[in-house]
Amino acid sequence: MNRTLCFRRLRALCHKETLQIIRDPSSNIIAFVLPVLLLFIFGYGINLDSSAVRIGVVLEDTSPEARHLTDNLYGSPYLAVTTGLTRSAMEEALIAGQVSGFIVIPVDYGATLKRASKPAELLVVTDGSAPNTASFVQNYLRGAWNEGLIQRTDEQGKPAMPNITFESRFWFNASAESRNYLIPGSITIIMTVIGTLLTSLVVAREWERGTMEALLASPVTRTELLLSKLLPYYVLGIISLFLCVAIAVFILNIPFRGSLLVLWGIGSLFLASCLGMGLLLSTSLRNQFNAAQAALNAAFLPALMLSGFVYEIRSMPAAVQAFTYLVPARYFVTAMQTIFQAGNVWPVLLNSSLFLLMSSVFFIGMTALKTRRGLE
């Protein structure tokens, strides 16, 4: 008469959980306000494309050649150039962070070019304290300089050197906007935080308020208890996932090339593993405060650092790389970036799904083991 799963009891528990969600402002904040807030921060605040790197030019030489080079720099859409006359002034600007780098056109630049006995040397100083920007300064200056060389060749009718030129093209993301992959990635981070935070509180709350004792004394089974904690929060999580996707597509104008059905499928697997992790923490710690802190440390940090969302996994030390295989967010980041930008690329998506399935089975299974039908 008391089967492991009775739909009437499950429905009653889910109904209760739903009412609590609707009435608890903090679940609503976690599920709806926080994701929107975070998505906008990620959407507007995190942008790795230095659309215009601020650089300085120290113009010690006033020859036409020097002018020519400066014009080239001014012409580059990637550079915001300020000109200065002395090196020391520019050095100060660099230290103060007003420019990210500067190029020195030496006094004898024009003369050396004319003489053509040895190459004229152009010193570029960058602010290494911001390495990403410094490498962009390096790349953009080299590009502009290269461009200059080619133009020089054309004007004088003979090639200065046999130049190897590039034609580079981005697939999926033609204008190489970092937000096009950062935002799908950031949805992963947001869903990780929300999924774990939501459930990390719910079991601990029942223990703290003493309602768990009453439930345990009723005919409720372990399966019903577990499912009643998963299903309502799954629905909440999925709504919040699609809310994020809608904002990304309609407000932040991120192209979406995959299918919603696939997104729903993989999103569900990912959500299951996040909710499972939160439940596991909540069930084992039985204290809302500690569970929430642990959830943040166990979910947010690895998702931000080790998912390949901003930081390339392949560049990490081998030990750290090995660890990333255990982070569910890693697979969802790949899947989200692919679904958004590349569409349904099955090898990638199936691989991700498999790992996500394994991690959800692991977390939910562990929670089931931890859920005891007693007080000890």
Partner 1 sequence: MDNAIVCLESVQKSFKGSSKPALTGFSAAILPGCVTGLVGPDGAGKTTLIRLMAGLLAPTAGSIRIQGLDPIANASTLRDAIGYMPQKFGLYEDLTVLENLQLHADLRGLLGQQRSDTFKRLLDFTDLARFTSRFAGKLSGGMKQKLGLACALLGQPRLLLLDEPGVGVDPISRRELWKMVNSLADQGIAVIWSTAYLDEAELCQHVLLMNEGQLLFYGRPAELTCRLQDRAFQIRNISVNRRKVLAMALCRPDVMDGVIQGRNVRLLLRPHATPPNPSEFNAGANAELVPVAPRFEDAFIEALGGGPGGYSELAQRLQPIIGENDTVVEAVGLTKLFGDFAATDHVNFAVKRGEIFGLLGPNGAGKSTTFRMLCGLLKPTSGTARVLGIDLKTNASEARQQLGYMAQKFSLYGNLTVKQNLMFFSGIYGLKGSQQQDMVKSMTEVFNFQALLGRKPDTLPLGFKQRLALACAIMHGPAILFLDEPTSGVDPVTRREFWTHINGMVEKGVTVIVTTHFMDEAEYCDRIALVFRGKIIAAGTPDQLKAQVASTANPDPTMEDAFITLVQSQSDLDVAKQNQSTPAPSKQAPANKETP
Partner 2 sequence: MLHRIITLVLKELQTLLQDPQSRTILILPVILQLALFPSAATLEVTNNTLAVFNEDNGQQSLELIQRFSQTQAFSEVRMLYHETDIRDAIDNQQALLVIRFPVDFSRQLAAGRGAKIQALLDGRRSNSGQIAFGYVQQIIQNYSEERGNAGVLTMPSRLIFRHWFNPNLDYVRHIVPSLVAIITTISTLIVTSLSVAREHEQGTFDQLLVSPLTPNMIMVGKTLPAMLVAICQATIILLAGIFIYHIPFAGSFWLLYASMVFYILALAGFGLLISSICLTQQQSFLGVFSFVMPTILLSGFVAPIENMPVWLQYLDWFNPLTHFIVIVKGVFLKNIGLALLLQNLWPLMAIAVVTLGASAWLFNRQLD
First to last CA, the chain: 26
Number of Cβ atoms within 10 Å of the Cβ of 301: 11
19 part of the interface to partner 1, by CB under 8 A: yes
**Range 8-47, binding partner 2 (CB under 8 A):** 26, 29-30, 34, 37-38, 41-42, 44-47
26 part of the interface to partner 1, by CB under 8 A: no
The alpha carbon dihedral of 359, 360, 363, 366 has a sign of negative
155 part of the interface to partner 2, by CB under 8 A: no
Is the separation of the CB atoms in 198 and 27 below 8 Å? Answer: yes
Binding part of the chain for partner 1, among 20-28, 117-125, 193-201, 237-245 by CB under 8 A, reads 20-28
134 part of the interface to partner 2, by CB under 8 A: yes
Q: Which two tokens stand for residue 49?
A: 């494309």
257 part of the interface to partner 1, by CB under 8 A: no
Of 125 and 225, the one with the shorter C-beta distance to partner 2 is: 125
Burial class (CB in 10 A: 0-12, 13-18, 19+), 272: buried
5 part of the interface to partner 1, by CB under 8 A: no
**Range 48-67, binding partner 1 (CB under 8 A):** none
CB of 15 to partner 2, least distance (A): 23
Q: Which helix (H) or strand (E) holds 58?
A: strand 53-59
Query: How many residues interact with partner 2 (rule CB under 8 A)?
Result: 105
Contacts made by residues 328-331, CB under 8 angstroms, sequence distance 24+: 328/192, 328/270, 328/273, 328/274, 328/277, 328/355, 328/356, 328/359, 328/360, 329/188, 329/189, 329/192, 329/270, 329/302, 329/303, 330/306, 331/270, 331/355, 331/356
CB of 126 to partner 1, least distance (A): 51
376 part of the interface to partner 1, by CB under 8 A: yes
**Range 243-282, binding partner 2 (CB under 8 A):** none
95 part of the interface to partner 2, by CB under 8 A: yes
In the chain, the amino acid numbered 137 is V
The one of partner 2, partner 1, none whose footprint includes residue 376, by CB under 5 to 8 A per kind, is partner 1
**Range 171-190, binding partner 2 (CB under 8 A):** 171-174, 176-178, 180-181
320 part of the interface to partner 2, by CB under 8 A: yes
CB of 7 to partner 2, least distance (A): 32
Q: Which two tokens stand for residue 88?
A: 């020391």
142 part of the interface to partner 2, by CB under 8 A: yes
Is the separation of the CB atoms in 327 and 304 below 8 Å? Answer: no
219 part of the interface to partner 1, by CB under 8 A: yes
Of 228 and 240, the one with the shorter C-beta distance to partner 1 is: 228
